[in-house]
């Protein structure tokens, strides 16, 4: 998070420019770089967690869909009196929805943090990169 302080001013050291022009340049630089810097710090903070927060996010997405599917099926069955059938069907649909949720959030996570350039991604993955 700490931007390394510039101890030596580039170029201007010899020419003795007025302080204000240096300030203007610094403001311009900060405005240009502020956005990128913010994203960088967020990603740095998010990196510490990847393990637990990703697991909890994916797990909760997956289980929530199954629970909702089975619960909705159970309630519909009670209401319509159609034995266990709607619950079974909706349980499977919930399972599919859970997989859908997981692939979606995993794709979102991949988009949010692309691998740093030049990192070793293993042998070619031409076959299975549809979810990117």
Residues near another protein (CB under 8 A):
38, 45-46, 48-49, 52-53, 56-57, 60-61, 63-65, 67-69, 72, 90, 93-94, 96-98, 100-101
Q: How far is the CB of 120 from another protein (least distance, A)?
A: 28
Question: Measured between alpha carbons, how far is 110 from 78 in angstroms, rounded to an integer?
Answer: 41
How far is residue 28 from each of residues 8, 21, 25, 33, measured CA to CA in Å? 18, 11, 5, 9
**Residue with smaller CB distance to another protein, 36 or 121:** 36
Distance CA 93, CA 87 (A): 10
Smallest distance, Å, CB 37 to another protein?
13
Question: Which lies closer to another protein via its Cβ, residue 77 or residue 94?
Answer: 94
Q: Closest CB to another protein among 12 and 42?
A: 42
Shortest distance, position 109 Cβ to another protein, whole Å: 11
| Cβ atoms within 10 Å, residue 98 | 21
Smallest distance, Å, CB 116 to another protein? 21
Q: To which residue do tokens 């030049």 refer? A: 118
* Helix/strand/coil for 7: coil
């Amino acid at each position: 998070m700490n931007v390394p302080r510039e101890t030596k001013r580039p170029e201007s050291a010899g020419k003795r420019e007025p302080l204000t022009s240096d300030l203007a340049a610094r403001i311009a630089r900060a405005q240009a770089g502020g956005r990128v810097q913010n994203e960088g710090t967020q990603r740095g903070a998010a990196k510490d967690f990847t393990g637990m927060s990703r697991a909890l996010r994916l797990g909760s997405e997956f289980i929530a869909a199954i629970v909702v599917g089975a619960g909705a099926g159970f309630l519909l069955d009670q209401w319509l009196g159609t034995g266990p059938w709607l619950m079974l069907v909706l349980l499977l649909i919930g399972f599919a929805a859970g997989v859908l949720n997981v692939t979606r959030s995993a794709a979102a996570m991949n988009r949010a943090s692309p691998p740093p350039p030049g990192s070793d991604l293993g042998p070619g993955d031409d076959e299975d990169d549809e979810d990117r």
